[in-house]
A and B are shown apart, each in its own frame.
Chain A
């Protein structure tokens, strides 16, 4: 990883220069699950890249030129092209770079993965809500909804009779949903997959994948980040460094 920064850049920081040829840059944040999708794909496909972490609680002014919404992840090419939205960045990388294709070649299999992805769309906001109500009494409604979402995913695995969501080997859909499952332990929600044995097995198989395991964040660091982030601390994004 050349030229990237681990420490996040915040307000008042100098804008980074153009992206060197032969590299692609990702604007990210170490704990952002959406950005984690892009990092997983970059790693899985062996794409040379640099990472610039953004302090999401103290965003640099120049970052809004990369994404007017100020969100990560954003890809920037050496041609100055900008790609936003995590799923779009992942698809772009799969199409633009050679090597192992993460989306299936078969149009129907690809459509199936996209339909699974669509049905996953409630999960991110549920997990964030869970994070926010951690210390309050009533999260029973949330817990029920989470249970429903896990059951939906369990049904997919049960019907397919495969380890992974795309078949017998890992593919795009698995990487797209993994980052939220990485949060489960840190949020003390592990018991929720006790009722969904195939999903539990999937999680274990994911942890064994070299790409996934190389990007795992440990539980204590996550929890430290969550604490600071919920307090809106500008130190949150650099926790553990």
Chain B
């Protein structure tokens, strides 16, 4: 059971109080890949945090004071400072908190990770489109082809670098920023999109061995339960799998 296993807050809920000192708060949703990035970084850096899950189909009115469009993830600290956009939130955490740095120290290596992130930009949209198409019974051969092409580009990078992870021989920020979509390939029904990319499959296997990634893995049945309800437009989807 991860630390974000709490019921979502929706319309009519009481706004949460200020964030206690020594803790940072994350507004999240258990199945959101963007928020997943931030949860990975919080866990990897051992940052004391609390999670408030938001019902994205029934957003609390007060939530729009945290984000103008009610999106997640959003970080809120005890000084009432708000940070949003998943990549900005992850970088903020790496900058603001001590301990293990997830971005490299070397400016060129940092730039390389940011260039790699640019290379990844089509993946979230394509994986989502595949999911929606499959769930609606539509053909998604073209989408899968496009996704496979993106994966080929990533495969090429790993091949050229000859490293296990995208940042080198150890896991680093870029790997955490990519991971959420790869974790979802199977449950979205598109795991065959990595059939032709063996190095990428090795990366996936290596990621699954990382303690941080492991500790936040969502079990397949819970995810499927969420997806089923989500595609039925059931607002209870977001709390699927929580006891009582």
Contact = CB atoms under 8 A, between A and B. Distances in A.
Given A83-B108, A83-B111, A84-B115, A115 B96 contact: no
The A interface is mostly helix, strand or loop, or mixed, namely helix
Contact of B83 (A89, A91, A111): A111
B107 interface: yes
A77 B111 CA distance: 13
A167 to B, nearest CB: 15
Contacts of A218: none
A107 B92 CA distance: 6
A118 B111 contact: no
A147 interface: no
Q: How large is the interface on A (under 10, 10 to 19, 20 to 34, 35 or more residues)?
A: 10 to 19
Contact of B115 (A88, A95, A110, A118): A88
A77 B112 CA distance: 14
Interface in B80-122: 81, 83-85, 88-89, 91-92, 95-96, 107-108, 110-111, 114-115, 118
Nearest to B75: A111
Contacts of A89: 111
Contacts of A14: none
Contacts of B118: 85, 88
B58 to A, nearest CB: 26
B114 A88 contact: yes
Contact of B88 (A84, A88, A95, A114): A114
A184 B83 CA distance: 31
Identify the interface centre among B77, B79, B88, B110: most chain A CB within 10 Å of its CB: B88
A77 B107 CA distance: 12
B66 to A, nearest CB: 13
Interface string B171-212: 000000000000000000000000000000000000000000
Contacts of A77: 108
B173 to A, nearest CB: 14
Contacts of B88: 111, 114-115, 118
A92 interface: yes
A165 to B, nearest CB: 15
Interface string A64-83: 00000000000001000101
Given A88-B115, A108-B96, A81 B108 contact: yes
B85 A85 contact: no
A91 B118 CA distance: 15
Interface in A109-124: 110-111, 114-115, 118
Contacts of B115: 83-85, 88
Nearest to B97: A107
B244 to A, nearest CB: 37
Contacts of B95: 107, 110-111
A77 B92 CA distance: 28
Given A107-B95, A107-B96, A111-B92, A91 B114 contact: yes
B67 to A, nearest CB: 10
B113 to A, nearest CB: 10
Interface in A171-197: none
A89 B110 CA distance: 11
Interface string B228-240: 0000000000000
B154 to A, nearest CB: 14
Contact of A96 (B79, B91, B107): B107
B81 to A, nearest CB: 5
Contacts of B85: 114-115, 118
Contacts of A91: 110-111, 114
Contact of A92 (B77, B79, B91, B108): B108
Contacts of A81: 108
A96 B108 CA distance: 8
Interface of B: 77, 79, 81, 83-85, 88-89, 91-92, 95-96, 107-108, 110-111, 114-115, 118
Going nearest first, the 8 A-B pairs with the smallest beta carbon separation are A107-B95, A95-B107, A107-B96, A96-B107, A92-B111, A111-B92, A111-B83, A114-B88
26 contacts: A81-B108, A83-B108, A83-B115, A88-B111, A88-B114, A89-B111, A91-B114, A92-B107, A92-B108, A92-B110, A92-B111, A95-B107, A95-B110, A96-B107, A107-B92, A107-B95, A107-B96, A108-B79, A110-B92, A110-B95, A111-B83, A111-B89, A111-B92, A114-B88, A115-B84, A115-B88
